Chains A and B, each alone.
Chain A
Amino acid sequence: MATVLVVIEHAKGELKKSNLPAITAAREIAKHIGGEVCFAVLGPGASAAAGNAKMFGPAKIYSAEHAGLENYLAQPYAKVVADIAKAAGASHVVAAATTTGKDMLPRVAARLAAGMVSDISGVVDGKTYRRPMWAGSVIGVVEIATPIQVVTARGTEFAAAAPATGAGAIETFAADPGTSKMHFVRFDATKSERPDLAEARVVVSGGRGLKGPEGFKQIIEPLADLFGAAVGATRAVVDAGWAPNDLQVGQTGKVVAPELYFAIGLSGAIQHVAGMKGSKVIVAVNKDEEAPIFNVADYGLVGDLFKVVPELVEEIKKARA
């Protein structure tokens, strides 16, 4: 039976939420080709991850641990994933379009002489996919011409996979990561009490209208605190050093689709909108009534954000009381 292999990311056995939309994309592909979904888990905690992944009903889970996989590195990980794909006779290799997926999967594709399509937003059939291009202003319908296909799936475009039944047979894979020209030095985690941008239910983003980093403290954070929200930023603001890189929402930053997105003092350039137009409800506050953000906002308020947002914080507190 044709096999769609999903590369499952985990942290010492705990599955990352980013896998769930990728599993949905894999299931859609499998349906088109009359195939089954299998998982690959690599690195320390792989056997625990395999156990945790059973609830999503794959036919099989390949679990690979090896000293050479101690820390994630694209070269050895791509080799082992490609080896698993060959062993599984996979026709498709799928991963979430996370930084790991983007980093690793092109190497997997090259090893399998497979065409790869990045960041798919839809599956048309077993070899045709939709994907955003030109910052999402164009949707490309693309076909992979090779027998083996590699795709990364955009997390905001596929629903999180629900649990399912499946054989879930766990196979310990004898990994051979080969000689790596890459060597892990360290990982510095971003410390924040706020939820992950890609997973937050509510996001409050600020743009140049905030006039400086203090604007984030005084205006964005109190509003974000009301909702336990994540904070986002435009590329201009990150460029200016008012916010760190991993808060950037947009075509070349993070793509998010929360329940509620506040766009504060940002004009709504195509590149930013590309990263948030999938949000369920968008609220925009900007003093420029012509700002393009108002074209995508469900609720738009033209006004001075330095007056409007503090008032908004107070009114929301009252409305909840």
Chain B
Amino acid sequence: MKILVTVKRVTDYEAKIKIKPDGQGVVTEGINMIVNPFDEIAVEEALRIKEKASAEVVVLSIGPKDAAQQIRSALAMGADRGILVEAADLDSDAVATIMAKVVDKEKPDLVIVGKQAIDDDSGQAGQILAELLGWGQACFASKVELGSGKVTVTREVDGGHDTIDVDLPAVISADLRLNEPRYASLPGIMKAKKKPLEETSPAALGVVATPKVLVKRFEEPVQRKAGVRVPDVPTLVAKLKNEAKAL
């Protein structure tokens, strides 16, 4: 069995993000870059399947050259090999288009992605990929069970949980409660340095991925007006009753 997992290089969620003065980007100098947290959960799920059902786990990242670091992190967790497609000017559709080409080559049984990237918050690439391939999808997965030629997935949806069967090959997107990712061990980190990491490009893959969504600029969000500190509960209640009229 072969599982393809994607990891995206994103800004650390604890970093304070500043917009560049010209509004044409965000400042990334001095910002710690990490594996998108939901992608770590995706890698972990692939590794658990590998441990139970014997699989090859291939880690794919589409982005800047430095994303090789994030692939190495996944390899250190236990993935088998990595593929870096060096590309820029991407939107979800372009990413999915490139992924589809990699899927064509690698022919995985399962593709696992994180439900959204915490920089972009778009959450589209996995679904677009599934549609381009004509595959089924199971998004926001909180439980994955491999069956014969299919996968049974429980999904976190509004109002509860929905369980579906999807024929293999399929795309799954990982939600928060799917698993708790393992930390890479020191031996794992050492082994990762020797695992194969193929570096390629959309041109070398023979795919043209033109973004359909263009970022014109970034703006500051509207800030809330500062509030007041209240010294005690009676003051708070009085303000809620008389000022805010919220009682």
| Interface residues, chain A, with chain B CB atoms under 8 Å away | 18, 72-75, 78, 98-100, 102-107, 109-111, 114-119, 128, 130-146, 180-190, 196, 198, 235, 238-239, 245-246, 248, 251-252, 259-260, 270-271, 277, 281-283, 294-302, 308, 311-312, 315-316, 319-320
Contact = CB atoms under 8 A, between A and B. Distances in A.
Contact of B213 (A117, A294, A299, A302): A117
A115 B17 CA distance: 26
A150 to B, nearest CB: 9
Nearest to B38: A252
B50 to A, nearest CB: 23
Contacts of B183: none
B166 A182 contact: yes
Given A142-B216, A182-B164, A294-B229, 14 more contacts: A73-B164, A100-B157, A106-B92, A110-B96, A116-B92, A132-B221, A138-B218, A140-B219, A184-B162, A189-B159, A190-B159, A246-B160, A298-B227, A299-B230
Contact of B160 (A117, A136, A187, A239): A187
B139 A74 contact: yes
Contacts of B231: 301
Contact of B127 (A107, A298, A301): A107
B165 A252 contact: no
B118 interface: yes
B244 A312 contact: no
Contact of A301 (B119, B138, B230): B230
Contacts of A270: 13, 16
Interface string B72-83: 000000000000
Closest 6 CB pairs of A and B: A115-B212, A181-B136, A106-B127, A110-B131, A298-B227, A182-B136
A63 B119 CA distance: 37
Nearest to B135: A181
Given A133-B119, A138-B17, A182-B164, A98 B158 contact: yes
B204 interface: no
Contact of B13 (A135, A239, A301): A135
B121 to A, nearest CB: 6
A207 to B, nearest CB: 16
A319 B247 contact: yes
Contacts of B58: none
A118 B126 CA distance: 14
Contact of B219 (A141, A184, A302, A311): A141
A139 B219 contact: yes
7 contacts: A102-B139, A182-B166, A189-B160, A245-B176, A259-B246, A294-B229, A301-B236
B66 to A, nearest CB: 19
Contact of A118 (B123, B233, B234): B123
B226 A118 contact: no
B215 interface: yes
Contact of A99 (B125, B158, B237, B247): B158
Given A109-B128, A145-B212, A145-B214, A188 B163 contact: yes
Q: Which among B13, B120, B132 has the highest number of chain A CB atoms within 10 Å?
A: B13
Contacts of A107: 127-128, 130-131, 137
B218 to A, nearest CB: 5
B182 interface: no
Contacts of A139: 218-221
Interface in B198-247: 211-221, 224, 226-234, 236-241, 244, 246-247
A264 B127 CA distance: 36
B11 A190 contact: no
A282 B236 CA distance: 12
Sorting the interface of chain B by its residue count into under 10, 10 to 19, 20 to 34 or 35 or more gives: 35 or more
B142 interface: yes
B88 interface: no
Contacts of B126: 106
B109 to A, nearest CB: 13
Contact of B247 (A103, A298, A308, A316): A316
B54 interface: no
A187 B161 contact: yes
B131 A78 contact: yes
Nearest to A244: B177
A133 B216 CA distance: 13
B1 interface: no
A295 B226 CA distance: 6
Contact of A115 (B11, B93, B139): B93
A131 B122 CA distance: 10
Contacts of B11: 134
Given A134-B26, A300-B228, A103 B139 contact: yes
A245 B41 CA distance: 15
B176 A103 contact: no
B92 A190 contact: no
Contacts of A298: 227-228, 244
Contact of B152 (A185, A198, A295): A185
Q: Which among B158, B214, B217, B232 has the highest number of chain A CB atoms within 10 Å?
A: B158
Interface in B104-119: 115-116, 118-119
